[in-house]
Amino acid sequence: MRALARLTEDNDGEIAVAAIAGEIDASNVGDLNARLRGMLTNRSEVLVVDLIGTTYIDSAGINLLFELADELRQRQQRLFLAVAEQSPVARMLGITGIDAVVPVHPTRDAAVRAAGVSAA
């Protein structure tokens, strides 16, 4: 069976960057959750999640983002999202209101730049 989503990990200086391509749903959210949290250390300040390549996200994926943002905030860390404008994922995030809780940017580069500026 083919994996619904592929997560690639990268670092841009002190910023951890995760790019998720494919679909995020209840069947894979546990694995994605573990991988995203595993990217962070106590010294990490920022996690950028690049959802540009994400084609679908259900309520389990949305809940993951809310929970991750809350946990990072409690740990004095921050979450930034990169989401293609006018995409189905952007519409879902807007409907759920996560864009009022987590900074959302139209490109990965914009999210990384914003994360670096606000970290200073």
- pLDDT tens, residue by residue, 67-88: 999 999 999 999 999 999 999 9
Which class for 50: exposed (0-12), middle (13-18), buried (19 or more C-beta within 10 A)? buried
- pLDDT tens, residue by residue, 4-61: 899 999 987 789 999 999 999 999 999 999 999 999 987 789 999 999 999 999 999 9
CA separation for the pair 111, 109 (Å, rounded): 5
Which pLDDT score, from 0 to 100, does residue 38 have? 93
Domain spans in the chain, listed from the N-terminal domain onward? 5-119
Q: The tokens 């949305």 sit on which residue?
A: 62
77 within 8 A of 112, measured Cβ to Cβ: no
Query: What's the predicted TM-score (pTM) here?
Result: 0.92
CATH 3.90.1150.10 fits 5-119, yes or no: no
CA separation for the pair 29, 20 (Å, rounded): 11
Q: What angle separates helix 59-74 from helix 88-96, to the nearest 10 degrees?
A: 60
